[in-house]
Structure 1
Amino acid sequence: MSLFSAQLHPGRALGFLVLGASMHDILTRLKAEPQRFLKFDLMYDKTDPVKEPVILGLPANGIRLRFDGPEQRLRLIEVIDFTKNHIFLKPANDKERDLVRPPSNTQSGQQDLAAGPTFRHIYQRFLGPTYDGEYIPQSDTDGIYVLSYPGVGFTFSMKKSDYKPSKDVVSLLSSSAIPTSMAIFSGDSWAQARDTMWTEILPSIKTFPPLAKGKDVCPDEVSLVKIHGGGKLQLFRKWTNNSFWISLGDTTQQDLVAELGPPDAIYRKNDQRMYVHKLRTTSNTVARPSGNDLKRFDDLTDTDQSSAHTASDGYDSNDEAVEDELVDHVSSECFYNYFYLGFDILVSTPTSPSKPPPSQGPDSGIPEVQFKSASPDRLVATKVILHGNVPGSYPFNRHRRCRWEIAYLSGAVVNSETPFSDMEPSLREEWKSIYASEEEGKQKQRGMVLNRGWGDSPGSSCELLGGWEESGTATTPGVGKKFDGSEDSTTTLYGFPGLVFEVLKNGYVSAVTVF
């Protein structure tokens, strides 16, 4: 294994580990270098994985990374073993300074290197003088002393009996004192940073000079998607006041590329298994379903609308005509996969989007869409799948986490951090008027169990990526396998007009499909 070598940028980064970077970006980079990063330890709260911090440990490299839960942004970088990495500082017009001083030819020099940097080396040769630190008691007898620089802090073990507020930092720490860890954070000191660490709006990593790509111009990431119903989504950009709209059935391929850039991948797939739901009829009629009936929840659990099932029993010429039409439709459909933005967009010939919510009046301020007739030469967005990237879920790290909000619901805010059990009553209340009875509404909105562990399961755009369940390796970025190796991959799908939610066993939404 090659030693992890990285330049320290106080308050911003340790090598390519930049504060504010997404967990998806960091993991993808780590997986691309398996010789340097042999093992990952992902620690999270299984009952509340989208609100509590997520910790990513790199035990072979002596590094620990902490991300916030809602945005999954890197908030804290910790070096917990100085012997497993090479950290250096390179000030302007100055030679490189190593955090751990180079070993001497003596045995004691080798021992000093194994132990880590000394206080004297940090104070004199690495970062220079600083203000007195902060003593934090850990028990009745022991505590830690945090020596802070702007954006960097060192932790020293110190007994409570040894600490005296009247003593300065040099008197408290002997020249040979060795820190137990180092932290890189955003703030002037650790005392100031820890109060705002998980909520502070960090600057875009595009503003970090070492990572700036002079000729590459890419749009700012999408930080929030507001779902307005009726096939309309408003996408907000991070660090700006700009937003743009996707109107299903109207927004073209060219519009998507102009606003979002080219997709990370384009996927075409002919999935046949959900076709039975397209042709399902009620028990008291033999009539074929209408075009509107095809756009029901069971149909939309197949997120690849290119399904063209060929069956062998009981189909008349009308059935064959329906199949021929779907087969012809396959060649024009594809998914635009935006892994680094956190969503996929189905592009196909125009279809009418779902109906607007009952509470949405004509003066809502939502852009009107004039639906245009289908044309074989005109491809538009017809469906969007927003991914939660929930730790512990089967497709974890296939996409960056995408935050969303259902804008048309009144009362409490319903968003990507809301448990499904909390948002379900508001959704039922909003849509109850379209059903003949409450019982009919419950029947339409009942859950459908989905098991991802049985191979290519339909039901989410994760399945549209083509054989990744079988081909997942430790070196493939974004492999959709759970970190703990568990085969417990059962989720439940719930449908409402224009929405399909994929819900994990802990009650959080793994993905939402908007149509």
Structure 2
Amino acid sequence: MPQFSAQLHPGRGLGFFALGTSMHDALTRIKAEPLTFPKIELKHDSAEPLKTPTVVELPANGLRFRFDGPEQRLRLIEIIDFTKNHVYVKQANDKERDLVRPESAGEITGPSFRHIYQRFLGPTYAGEYIKQSGVYILSYPGVAFTFPMKESDYDPSKDIISLIPANEVATSMAVFSGESWTEACKTMWTEVLPSVKTYPPFAKTKDASPDEVSLIKIHGGGKLQVFRKWTKNCFWIYLGETTPQQILAELGPPDSIYYKNDQRMFIHKTRGASNTMVRPQGNDLRQDDLTDTDLSSHPASDDSSREETIEDDVDYSGTEERFMNYFYQGFDIMLSTQAEPSVPPPSQTGDKEVPGPPFKSGSANRLVATKLILHGNVPGSYPFNRHRRCRWEIAYLSPPGDEGTRADSETPFSEVEEKLREEWKSVYASEAEAKQKQRGMVLNRGWGDSPGSSIEMLGGWEEGTTGTHPRSTGGKKKYDGTEDSTTTLYGFPGLVFEVLRNGFVSAVTVF
């Protein structure tokens, strides 16, 4: 097995692992090198997967990564076994200096205090003694080392040279953002980290890709406000009006395109006492919108569908429905001929603060964005790590400045559902009709022949083929009982939620 070798960048990262990297990007890179990283262990709180950190451990490499729950960004890099990796820093003369000296790597299990203090990083201020753990943390800006220490050996009046024996070996190392470990612990999970594009190994490359999307605000009536990470810039997507060319100008080319042509759930379009082949009004939950949630990234394993990766210019002429898959942004955009978006929410009737489209498309047969599918990438869910996590917020349910009442991607669905029912109750003739329209539809992704079995597993992973978008790691994806494969779909005007058993939203479709 090739040994993982990486340059240490205190406060920024280790090798190609940069603080602030999304969990999707990190796991995709790890899976792309199975010889170097043969084993991956993922640990999370199944009851609160979006509020507590997720831990990714590489036992064969002695590495551990901690990601925050809401954004799923890398906040802490740890080396827990120095013998399974090679870490170095570059000095001013561009010479490399190893964390564990090669001549002693076979004799000790990690770097000695003398080597760290005298040759690797140099002198530093006094560290911190953690009584509960029995360890002393030697801290530098952006990096810290842990040394075992008995409570009887600790004396706050002594300096660190007197406290730690010169040959004492560090048991672990942490890379974080901050001037010291003590200060970093206060803001580690909430600090806004700089763009990974400014990380030294990445800054040297010519990457013209747009900044990541950090938040999508759903304003109702088919209006979505898209915010970029690390900037104050935003742009609008108007369902039924925004063209593929406008999307490409803002987001760049998609990672793949999926052509939608699957009629296995067509029966639900005609369900009811009367003929409902006519397109329903915006106030009603459209059953075809429920099924389209599952077709955004359906496996292209039969003759009724096909998929293309984006290498050259794609022809967006014609009227065939298709999905633009942005795996690294966390959402899919459906393109089809013009259709009226859902009606605005009652509380926004006549609201002029939400701008309308700058112009109306003149051709009824022109392809426009008609739906967005926003993926939650919830740990433990069946489609986990197919897309980066996309954060969203229902703007008309979230009063400005009131953080406690927001309806967003981290809010349990039961709370979102309660607010939506209150918002939309006036559009239904009775409470019984509202319950009928808002009842759930159960979905099982563990069955390979189910039309809803792989909402995001584009590329036929259930059939054992490799992933097909340009940066996919491929591999076989089969249900083994560890993933939450059964979900429930709930519909409201303009919205369809896919909800996991733990009550969190795995995906939301906006139409």
- Fold match by TM threshold 0.5: yes
Letter in 1 for 2:464: S
Give the counterpart of 2:408 among 403, 412, 415: 415
Task: Give CA deviations for 1:79-128 in whole Å, capped at 9, x if unaligned.
Answer: 00000000000123241100000126xxxx7313xx11111111111001
Q: Is the Cα–Cα contact under 8 Å of residues 446 and 479 in structure 2 kept in the other structure?
A: no
Structure 1 150/484 Cα, relative in aligned 2: closer, same or farther at 3 Å?
farther
Provide the C-alpha distance between the structure 2 equivalents of 1:21 and 1:254, rounded to a whole number of angstroms: 29
In structure 2, the partner of 1:120 is 114
In structure 2, the partner of 1:356 is 344
Calculate the TM-score normalised by the size of structure 2.
0.89
In structure 2, the partner of 1:28 is 28
Letter in 1 for 2:126: D
Give the counterpart of 1:507 among 483, 492, 503: 503
The alpha carbon displacement at 1:290 in A equals 1.8
The alpha carbon displacement at 1:302 in A equals 1.6
Letter in 1 for 2:3: L
Size of the aligned set, in residue pairs, is 481
In structure 2, the partner of 1:368 is 356
In structure 2, the partner of 1:322 is none
Q: Is the Cα–Cα contact under 8 Å of residues 57 and 65 in structure 2 kept in the other structure?
A: yes
Q: Is the Cα–Cα contact under 8 Å of residues 319 and 367 in structure 2 kept in the other structure?
A: no
The alpha carbon displacement at 1:132 in A equals 1.1
**Bigger shift: 190-199 or 87-96?**
87-96
In structure 2, the partner of 1:163 is 154
Task: Give CA deviations for 1:454-498 in whole Å, capped at 9, x if unaligned.
Answer: 125445983572412222679953769589752641000000000
In structure 2, the partner of 1:427 is 420
In structure 2, the partner of 1:300 is 289
In structure 2, the partner of 1:101 is 101
- Greater gyration radius: 1
Structure 1 218/242 Cα, relative in aligned 2: closer, same or farther at 3 Å?
same
Q: Secondary structure at the match of 2:145?
A: strand
**Bigger shift: 295-304 or 201-210?**
295-304
Provide the C-alpha distance between the structure 1 equivalents of 2:410 and 2:85, rounded to a whole number of angstroms: 36
Q: Secondary structure at the match of 1:103?
A: helix
In structure 1, the partner of 2:374 is 386
Give the counterpart of 1:398 among 382, 386, 400: 386
Pairing of 1:100-499 with structure 2 (within 5 A)? 100-103=100-103, 110-112=106-108, 115-138=109-132, 143-212=134-203, 214-282=205-273, 285=274, 287-292=275-280, 296-303=285-292, 304=295, 332-369=320-357, 372=361, 374-376=363-365, 378-409=366-397, 412-455=405-448, 457-459=450-452, 462-463=455-456, 465-471=458-464, 477=473, 481=477, 486=482, 488-499=484-495
Provide the C-alpha distance between the structure 1 equivalents of 2:459 and 2:363, rounded to a whole number of angstroms: 28
Is 1:55 paired with 2:55? yes
Letter in 1 for 2:411: T
The alpha carbon displacement at 1:409 in A equals 1.4
Structure 1 147/414 Cα, relative in aligned 2: closer, same or farther at 3 Å?
same
Letter in 2 for 1:431: W
In structure 2, the partner of 1:42 is 42
Provide the C-alpha distance between the structure 2 equivalents of 1:420 and 1:149, rounded to a whole number of angstroms: 42
In structure 2, the partner of 1:15 is 15
Q: Is the Cα–Cα contact under 8 Å of residues 335 and 370 in structure 2 kept in the other structure?
A: yes
Task: Give CA deviations for 1:398-422 in whole Å, capped at 9, x if unaligned.
Answer: 0000000000115511000000011
Letter in 1 for 2:72: Q
Provide the C-alpha distance between the structure 1 equivalents of 2:163 and 2:428, rounded to a whole number of angstroms: 73
Q: Is the Cα–Cα contact under 8 Å of residues 301 and 459 in structure 1 kept in the other structure?
A: no
Unaligned runs of 5+ residues in structure 2 are: 299-316, 400-404
Structure 1 306/124 Cα, relative in aligned 2: closer, same or farther at 3 Å?
closer
Letter in 2 for 1:443: Q
In structure 2, the partner of 1:312 is none
Structure 1 277/160 Cα, relative in aligned 2: closer, same or farther at 3 Å?
same
**Bigger shift: 213-222 or 87-96?**
213-222
Provide the C-alpha distance between the structure 2 equivalents of 1:202 and 1:483, rounded to a whole number of angstroms: 35
Q: Is the Cα–Cα contact under 8 Å of residues 301 and 500 in structure 1 kept in the other structure?
A: yes
Provide the C-alpha distance between the structure 2 equivalents of 1:487 and 1:196, rounded to a whole number of angstroms: 32
Letter in 1 for 2:438: Q
The alpha carbon displacement at 1:208 in A equals 1.3
Provide the C-alpha distance between the structure 1 equivalents of 2:141 and 2:479, rounded to a whole number of angstroms: 35
Provide the C-alpha distance between the structure 2 equivalents of 1:482 and 1:68, rounded to a whole number of angstroms: 27
Q: Secondary structure at the match of 2:182?
A: helix
Q: Is the Cα–Cα contact under 8 Å of residues 392 and 484 in structure 1 kept in the other structure?
A: no
Provide the C-alpha distance between the structure 2 equivalents of 1:465 and 1:484, rounded to a whole number of angstroms: 19
Letter in 1 for 2:419: S
Q: Is the Cα–Cα contact under 8 Å of residues 349 and 374 in structure 1 kept in the other structure?
A: no
Letter in 2 for 1:103: E
Q: Secondary structure at the match of 1:465?
A: coil
Letter in 1 for 2:482: S
Provide the C-alpha distance between the structure 2 equivalents of 1:195 and 1:463, rounded to a whole number of angstroms: 36
Provide the C-alpha distance between the structure 2 equivalents of 1:361 and 1:461, rounded to a whole number of angstroms: 37
Provide the C-alpha distance between the structure 2 equivalents of 1:280 and 1:302, rounded to a whole number of angstroms: 13
Q: Secondary structure at the match of 1:301?
A: helix
Provide the C-alpha distance between the structure 2 equivalents of 1:468 and 1:71, rounded to a whole number of angstroms: 26
Backbone CA RMSD of aligned residues? 2.4
Q: Is the Cα–Cα contact under 8 Å of residues 444 and 453 in structure 2 kept in the other structure?
A: no
